[in-house]
Amino acid sequence: MIKIEKRNDVPMALYFFTPFIAIILTILGGGIIFYILGFNPIEALKFYFITPISNLYGFSELLLKATPLCLIAIGLSFCFKSNNWNIGAEGQLTFGAIVGGGVALLFYNQEGFYILPLVILAGAIGGMIFALIPAILKTYFNTNEILVSLMLVYVSKLILDYLVVGPWSNPEGFNFPETRQFSDSSRMPLLFEGLRIHAGIFLALAAVMLSWFILYKTYLGFQIKVSGLSLKTAKYAGFKGKTMILVVFMISGACAGLAGVGEITGPIGQLHRMISPDYGFTAIIVAFLGRLNPFGIIFASLVVALTYLGAETAQIFLQIPKYTGQVFQGMILFFLLASDYLLFFKVKILSLKKNELRH
Amino acid sequence: MATDLRISNISKIYPGCIANDNVSLQFKSGKIYALLGENGAGKSTLVKILSGVISPDNGEVFLNEKNLKLSSPLDAKKNKIGMVFQHFNLFETLSVFENLSIDATEDNKSLRLRINEIFKKYNFSIDLDVPVLNLSAGQKQKVEIIRCLLRSPKVLIMDEPTSVLTEQETEELFISLKKFCDEGILIIYITHKLKEVLSLCDEVAVMRKGKVVSVSQTQNEKVETLANKMVGQKLAKIKKKINISKNKDEIFKVKHLNFYSDDPFETNLVNLNFSVKKGECLGIAGISGNGQNELFQILSGEIITPNTSIIFRNKEIAKLNPKQRREYLMAFSPEDRISQAAVPELKIYENVALNNFKASNFFEKGLVNERKIKDHSKKILSDFSVNTDNVELKSQFLSGGNLQKLILGRELITAPELLICYNPTWGLDVGAINYIHETLIKINDQEKSTILISTDTEELLKLSDRIAVIYKGKLSKIMSSEEVTPEKLGVLMGGGSID
């Protein structure tokens, strides 16, 4: 018979160490998969985790991919910490990109220092508005935010589809499903000549600092913490539950919207169908791998960004589909949840004789 | 056949605490044995060992001189040791019969027959086909007892069986237990209620800090002698002098309090009207589950009900949330210490910050003023003699008594005009209970008012100036506590009337 007991005291140090265990297990698991597929596991893992960042360009790509992941995960940590399960960041990212992109398209033939801030602001507001839909439905109509936020992802993607093939498509674009190129004033400044890494990374870093401050130093952060641990206590203390739900969703949506606008004004430069390789979903893994801690999230976003890059390298050198990236992301989440389970619960195996079973 | 249960040199050590220290006891059938002790005295550990839930580090259990290996609850069942826990292990939505047939080995027809025999023999009557959630606590307990009787036990262990029963149900239980005893079932009765020991049991073993400190015949004992053995020190007797203050102002007034819920596990409240005077303690008695939860939440502002009028210090507060009500100098101590009044994972000072009233300045302009919260917490810890001075300690490491002192301290340090508390001493040991009772009396002495919702009649009689009983969401008339007796309360709590 197996008995599962809750552990009374989990050491903090171990709590922050288990993500590393999960990463090590993921690498081992990846090695096994490569071996089964007939590759030399050491070599394959080298292609996956070392080659992509062995030169400056690769490192810049790593930061480029980590930027949206970090931004979105920071926003999600507000929701998750307060027991609000927003899993629609991908939709908020898309809608943020639509609104931000719309503003950029308004200025497609103009230049001016004020354009980029406007585009960025519009993106954040777009994401915020889109996140408010599940939040309002949850607070006033008792709907489940998991379902609503998830379903809205597809809504936003269809709106984007409609816009890029229809009203917003490039008149000189030979009917390709894409908009005009944004003007240079709508583009994120590049940090280095020849590399794609852009100023959006400062937005992510600012979000990290700001979220740390809000979560640990303000009344709002305290309310989020208490609500996440016990909704009953939050109610008893008289926190304004509805307002808080709206606020955390707005923060989360704004961050996702910023990530979206960072992509289209950064590496992409226009709107088209594929503006995000599911950053909004992957950021959920990033948030948990980083323990919903702002600085943990920086680290986690780098690790998970590497799985994106590794998948691309593996596709080139090993001729395996780039969806192995998702296999690795899935393994990280799986091993993290598994080690968390063992961290919080003791599993006891009790011996049981046969005749007792029959009784 | 006579049964002889012997516990020999049982020890169980948990990290940082010796739960059972070399315990040896002997029980013979034909008598009812009491196992008496405060919370944390080691009673529960001993009972869990006897019922196979945990294994001792040392020592043995003999039943009729046969050495028992009790490594799981199944072993206890096999050896005919039956156990009725304080919290019922029943499936609320299944019928009584379904609950009883879950671990039965025979077919339904013969099971029904045997259950009916037990009913006849002991004068029980419960409808076998209603869902358990429709039963009263006393009936649920009977279902648990029947479940044990179906296995024809040699030993029956009752863990705090009367904590949820009315006086009448308690009497019925005692009659049944005496019958079982006459039939040769060995009964071990675990309690911390002294009077029950005296009226029911033949022999009493007192445990303190994991050790058996005394075994004696109950006829040689009195409430005071047992209490002293249990606590290990002379108890200061506290009795409140009743505030006969007819001319005092009413500071809190509730009118037309109605609450309706679709949830079958919630109780509807029907037209409650009452008021509290300055410096008075209004007690609300009742068996748990008669609407106390809902009442507390409405009074604290967690639930807002339409058309209710709550006047506090001449202001209408019925629409305000708990935080806003605190600003008007109300304070609340809910029943659930562990997951409502405080969060175990939070540090002491963070739990203190939950009572964030305007004058506290815990959060100035939305920012955490950690220094201020910590200073305030330190004051609470020392003023309310919580046994730590480390405000960074996580609350989960405080004992129940210390946690309750912290919560009361947090609520009271703001000098509220009205404190509403719900089962403030639930599950605490005598020392902590005394401290909390003294604190509650002190509040009234300072002309502050309290509403005490409690399922402990003794506590209510000790602390209240006036008492009302809540039964199925309705409030009885409010009586002066001088005209109230435990018997009267018992009748009202069981749904009877006294006029």
Select the residue of B340, B353, B396 nearest A236 (Cβ to Cβ): B340
> Is A88 in the same domain as A214?
yes
**Chain-chain contact of B366 with A240 (C-beta, under 8 angstroms):** no
Is the CB of residue B353 less than 8 Å away from at least one CB of chain A?
Answer: yes
Chain A: give the shortest CA distance to residue B323, in Å. Answer: 4
**Quick one: B241 exposed, middle or buried, by C-beta within 10 A (0-12, 13-18, 19+)?**
exposed
B75: nearest CA in chain A? A356
Report DSSP state, residue A339: H
Contacts of A354 (CB under 8 A, 6+ apart): none
Topology alike, domains B4-231 and B250-493: yes
> Is A173 in the same domain as A68?
yes
Q: Give the best residue of A2, A233, A357, A358 to mutate against chain B (max B CB count within 10 A).
A: A233
Structure tokens belonging to residue A119: 């585009």
**Chain-chain contact of B368 with A222 (C-beta, under 8 angstroms):** yes
Select the residue of B75, B324, B363 nearest A219 (Cβ to Cβ): B363
Range of the domain at A24: 1-37+320-359
> Is A189 in the same domain as A116?
yes
Residue A358 has pLDDT above 80, yes or no: no
Residue A79: inside a domain, yes or no?
Answer: yes
Band (A295; pLDDT cuts 50, 70, 90): very high
Q: Looking at residue B266, what is its pLDDT? A: 81
Is the CB of residue A344 less than 8 Å away from at least one CB of chain B?
Answer: no
Q: Looking at residue B406, what is its pLDDT? A: 93
Cα–Cα nearest to B359, from B390, B382, B381, B328: B328
**Chain-chain contact of A359 with B77 (C-beta, under 8 angstroms):** yes
The CATH number linked to A202 is 1.10.3470.10
Domain B4-231: CATH class, spelled out: alpha beta
Q: Looking at residue B1, what is its pLDDT? A: 66
Is pTM, for the whole model, over 0.90? no
Structure tokens belonging to residue B208: 């303190």
> Is A11 in the same domain as A86?
no
Chain B: give the shortest CA distance to residue A166, in Å. Answer: 47
> Is A293 in the same domain as A154?
yes
Residue A43: inside a domain, yes or no?
Answer: no
Q: Are B84 and B156 in contact (CB under 8 A)?
A: yes
**Chain-chain contact of A236 with B332 (C-beta, under 8 angstroms):** yes
Select the residue of B77, B341, B346 nearest A229 (Cβ to Cβ): B346
Alpha-carbon span A248 to B484, nearest angstrom? 52
Residue B405 has pLDDT above 50, yes or no: yes
Chain B: give the shortest CA distance to residue A6, in Å. Answer: 14
- How many separate helices (H) and strands (E) can be counted in chain B? 16, 23
Chain B: give the shortest CA distance to residue A213, in Å. Answer: 9
Biggest CA–CA distance in chain A, Å, is: 85
Residue A55: inside a domain, yes or no?
Answer: no
Of A88-102, B172-186, B375-389, which one has max mean pLDDT?
A88-102
Chain A: give the shortest CA distance to residue B248, in Å. Answer: 30
Alpha-carbon span A186 to A270, nearest angstrom? 10
3-state secondary structure of A345: strand
CB < 8 Å from B in window 192-231 of A: 216-222, 225-226, 229-230
Lowest mean pLDDT among A29-33, B256-260, B286-290: B286-290
Q: Looking at residue B239, what is its pLDDT? A: 59
* Cβ neighbour number for residue A235 with a 10 Å cutoff: 19
Indicate the residue among A282, A305, A328 that finishes a domain: A305
Alpha-carbon distance values, A223 to A231, A237, B71, B295, B488 (Å): 10, 9, 45, 25, 45
Residue B39 has pLDDT above 70, yes or no: no
Lowest mean pLDDT among A112-116, B161-165, B398-402: B161-165
Residue B42 has pLDDT above 80, yes or no: yes
Select the residue of B72, B340, B368 nearest A350 (Cβ to Cβ): B72
Q: Looking at residue A356, what is its pLDDT? A: 45
CATH architecture under which domain B250-493 falls: 3-Layer(aba) Sandwich (3.40)
> Is A102 in the same domain as A30?
no
Is the CB of residue B357 less than 8 Å away from at least one CB of chain A?
Answer: no
Which carries the bigger pLDDT value, residue B434 or residue B223? B434
Cα–Cα nearest to A76, from A339, A300, A311, A344: A300
- Express each pLDDT in A15-26 by its tens digit: 888 999 999 999
Select the residue of B302, B345, B368 nearest A235 (Cβ to Cβ): B302
Cα–Cα nearest to A50, from A40, A62, A66: A62
Q: Are B113 and B101 in contact (CB under 8 A)?
A: no
Residue A353 has pLDDT above 60, yes or no: no
Alpha-carbon span B402 to B425, nearest angstrom? 11
Q: Looking at residue A6, what is its pLDDT? A: 78
pLDDT (average), residues B268-278: 93
B325: nearest CA in chain A? A238
Q: Looking at residue B15, what is its pLDDT? A: 61
> Is A332 in the same domain as A290?
no
**A chain contacts of residue B16, beta-carbon cutoff 8 Å:** none
**B chain contacts of residue A356, beta-carbon cutoff 8 Å:** 72, 74-75, 78
- Express each pLDDT in A129-163 by its tens digit: 999 999 999 999 999 999 999 999 999 999 999 99
Band (B341; pLDDT cuts 50, 70, 90): very high
Q: Looking at residue A87, what is its pLDDT? A: 96
Q: Looking at residue A58, what is its pLDDT? A: 93
> Is A1 in the same domain as A85?
no
What value does the mean pLDDT of chain B take?
86
> Is A159 in the same domain as A204?
yes
> Is A72 in the same domain as A178?
yes
- Express each pLDDT in B44-75 by its tens digit: 889 889 988 888 888 999 998 888 888 888 88
Domain edges within chain B: 4-231, 250-493
Band (A359; pLDDT cuts 50, 70, 90): very low
Share of chain B above pLDDT 70, in %: 95
Instruction: Quote the number of domains for chain A.
Output: 2
> Is A23 in the same domain as A89?
no
What value does the mean pLDDT of chain A take?
92
Q: Looking at residue B251, what is its pLDDT? A: 92
Is the CB of residue B69 less than 8 Å away from at least one CB of chain A?
Answer: no
Residue A247 has pLDDT above 90, yes or no: yes
